Amino acid sequence: MQHFLIVGCTSGIGKALTNKLLENGQMVTGVGRQQNILQTFREKFPDRFNGIVLDLRETATIETTLNESLKNRPLLDVVVLLSSITGENPELEWSIEEDVIRTNVLGWSAVALWAARHFERQGKGHLVGITSLAKYLASVNPSYIASKAFEGKLLDGLRLRLEPKGIWVTEILPGFVETPMIARQKRKFWAISAEKAAHCILGSIEKKKRRAVISKRWKIFRLLAPHISARLQLKIFKL
């Protein structure tokens, strides 16, 4: 039995991944803000699920909360970092962009660095960050796209330090996945279910890939995206 820490286990891809892991007999510590979802997992899998209520925007509390909550079972095999938000922001209000940056950049980095230190102390582990193929695009949600590029670069930097110590770092780059995050997106071609995304993520973890585009058909987009003009992107994706 492996012990997974799923940060962002209460919705979408993280919830599907948590369900799959628990159904496969793994041990999961799950992080999120929605206490009712954490409670549902706890009731269904009382021996193998431990829920942590944590708001990633409160960066000062992250280290203590994670250390405290893992005190009885500190050995972690895999940390999957999913927690992120995006927001429509037609008026370019600072408070909306600030929330994205606090969650996707500051909170995300604090957890990733905590995981790196934790794995270094253990002498083993596997850090998995879910970024997005959107990082190759321009967007009307500027902070979201920028945050995904930042997360990818952060993982690159951590990989340089951790890989020689036998600690794996994987970046997962999804295309569209049917989750509440993209419920209002007008065009979602090649969208896969959250369950399929969870299946692909587990496959990439098993293979210890450095980077994985999910689903596979989006690989062609990854090659083309940097060459698609902003005007064409707006047309294709109806942004």
Ligand X SMILES: NC(=O)c1ccc[n+]([C@@H]2O[C@H](COP(=O)([O-])OP(=O)(O)OC[C@H]3O[C@@H](n4cnc5c(N)ncnc54)[C@H](OP(=O)(O)O)[C@@H]3O)[C@@H](O)[C@H]2O)c1
Q: Does 8 bind ligand X (CB under 6 A)?
A: yes
Contacts of residue 198, defined as CB under 8 A and 6 or more positions apart, other chains included, come to 13, 16, 17, 19, 20
Query: Residue 4 has which token pair?
Result: 């997974």
Instruction: Return the closest-CA partner of residue 214 out of 82, 28, 116, 111.
Output: 82
Give me the residues paired with residue 53 across strands.
32
> Of residues 85, 100, 105, 154, which one binds ligand X by CB under 6 A?
85
> Of residues 69, 83, 109, 170, which one binds ligand X by CB under 6 A?
83
Under a CB-based contact definition with an 8 Å cutoff, are residues 176 and 239 in contact?
Answer: no
Contact track, ligand X, 11-30, x by CB under 6 A: xxxx----------------
> Of residues 4, 119, 136, 176, which one binds ligand X by CB under 6 A?
176
> Of residues 20, 33, 42, 48, which one binds ligand X by CB under 6 A?
33
| Least spacing, CB of residue 220 vs ligand X, in Å | 16
Q: At what angle do helices 194-206 and 12-23 cross, to 10 degrees?
A: 60
Under a CB-based contact definition with an 8 Å cutoff, are residues 105 and 145 in contact?
Answer: no
> Of residues 130, 158, 167, 198, which one binds ligand X by CB under 6 A?
130
Contacts of residue 63, defined as CB under 8 A and 6 or more positions apart, other chains included, come to 110, 114
| Least spacing, CB of residue 120 vs ligand X, in Å | 24
| Least spacing, CB of residue 100 vs ligand X, in Å | 10
Contacting residues toward ligand X, per CB under 6 A: 8-14, 32-34, 54-57, 82-85, 103, 107, 130, 132, 174, 176-177, 179-182
